[in-house]
Amino acid sequence: MMIGGIGAIPLRPAGLDDPNGSLLPGGAASSPATGGSGTFAQALGRAATHTVDTLQHAEQMSIDALKGNADTRQVVDAVMSAQQALQTAVAIRDKIVSAYLDVSRMSI
């Protein structure tokens, strides 16, 4: 499994070292009302959108190949990229479920 395909999802949020405390891409500061919690939701949303786009692209490439409009190499690349994106999404989902279960088991 290649890790380079995951490079679209930054491991460290852009602007983390910004002295102004900006955590959002493009230098926009997080809203004080949200307490900065919107950045994780936005990152998760972007990752989900990227995964769906990758899967749709692979599906379209497969259809184009059946029509004779796409090269086999392009189809294989698109399908492998989609597989990688789906495996990443499943791993993230598993970690979120595991974290939720750990928190739900904590005594108050």
Q: Return the closest-CA partner of residue 86 out of 43, 57, 62.
A: 57
CA dihedral in degrees (15, 17, 20, 25; nearest 10)? 0
- Taking only the tens place, the pLDDT of each residue in 65-80 is 999 999 999 999 999 9
Could you please report the per-residue DSSP string of 8-42?
A: GS-SS-TTTT-TT---SGGGPPPPTTTTTTHHHHH
Domain boundaries, the chain: 35-108
Tell me if residue 7 falls in helix, strand or coil.
helix
What is the C-alpha to C-alpha distance for residues 49 and 42, in angstroms, rounded to an integer?
10
Q: pLDDT of 3-52, one tens digit each?
A: 344 444 444 444 444 444 444 444 444 444 445 557 888 998 999 999 99
d(CA 8, CA 82): 13
Q: Name which of 38, 43, 51, 39 is nearest 90 in CA terms.
A: 51
Token pair for 83: 């597989």
* pTM tops 0.85, yes or no: no
